[in-house]
Amino acid sequence: MRVLLTGGGTGGHIYPALSLANHIKKQVPQTEFLYVGTSKGLEADIVPKAGMPMMHVEVSGFKRSLSLTNFKTVYQFLAACRKAKQIIQTFKPDVVVGTGGYVSGPIVYTASRMGLPTMIHEQNAIPGLTNKFLSRFIDVVAVSFPESLEQFPKAKKVVLTGNPRATEVIHADPQKGVESLGLSSILPLVIVVGGSRGARAINEAVEGWLTTDIDLPFQVLFVTGSVHFDKINKTQKAVDISKNVIRLPFVYNMPEVLASADLVIARAGATFLAEITSLGVPSILIPSPHVTNNHQYHNAKALENAGAAIVIEEKGLTAQRLKQKVYELVGNDQRIAQLKVSAKKLGLPEAADRMTYEILKLVRKA
């Protein structure tokens, strides 16, 4: 079987595709993969490091308001469609799967026009423009949230699969997470993470809290993001701070570390939420207000409405409020247990199995 994968721009589009590929490879070892992305997105760095062959097309997204740049975008889209046709004719995939981002638009659209089996995966509760557009042409729309099922009224088939990243992290070893960072296995662990580059608003609130709370009765792993680490590390070294605080710019074995957490403070990116619900980790979510369709807010509210998380909007985030919420949860074993159970119910660790099943059905039907 030959599978063409496409998606890019953010890790939230790339990692689900790679997780799916890893799972398909286990089920059908002879499968060959090709990844198509842009040369400027994160995929250009992440995909080759994962050992997957990759080709590039160049494309950008439409502006939501009238803009002259949209004419350039249309030209780029048509040029990318021509390049996509060449790539598809050369690789001869049995199925094409898009996981979101602008680059998936011309690739999946062209594949559908060529009569190939096609699938898209929507990670967020509120779909992006590219996937809304593609849903009219392709065979299967796989979604991660039940709330998304009604968002694709013109699609041939919409199925709730979950996010394949959840399948990959479900077997993470919490003991390895603890040992890798020299953490205590006795004290509760709170993890703060704002993404690979960090989140300034979260970092500032956490800084304000930790510099006034010397006697922490639990551990805090403060993952600042590489952009912010030097400044925060210098600031916090200049003041008294609890010995139970560990500051790092980035954590490479995050699934294992998350598996050992009692509480996570984070943004509400869809792939990250798939990881913590799969592991059953309670969370305080501070959705980014700077994303398309405010989709992180809707992702976060889906967890809060299910009793799996507490949501603090960034406009209401302060050091004192964050500290209050943390202390209300950590040490309250009954409340933490309730959040864990609710998070676990939302987790779909069989996500990659479900997507693989749909893909194999498409290939057999073709």
Q: How far apart are CA 277 and CA 12, in angstroms?
A: 15
Distances from the Cα of 82 to the Cα of 33, 44, 96, 104, 134, angstroms:
21, 20, 16, 14, 17
Question: Which of 283, 343, 334, 285 is CA-nearest to residue 314?
Answer: 285
Alpha helices in the chain (DSSP H): 11-27, 43-49, 69-91, 104-113, 129-134, 164-169, 174-180, 200-210, 229-237, 254-259, 270-279, 295-305, 319-329, 333-346, 351-365
- Given strand 158-160, what is the order of strands in its sheet? 54-56, 32-37, 2-6, 95-98, 118-122, 140-143, 158-160
CB 271 within 8 A of CB 168: no
Annotated ligand binding at 10? The verdict is: yes
Name the β-bridge partners of 35: 5, 54
Q: How far apart are CA 223 and CA 126, in angstroms?
A: 27
Annotated ligand binding at 12? The verdict is: yes
Please enumerate, by residue number, every residue annotated as part of a binding site.
10-12, 124, 196, 296
List, as residue ranges, the binding site for UDP-N-acetyl-alpha-D-glucosamine: 10-12, 124, 196, 296
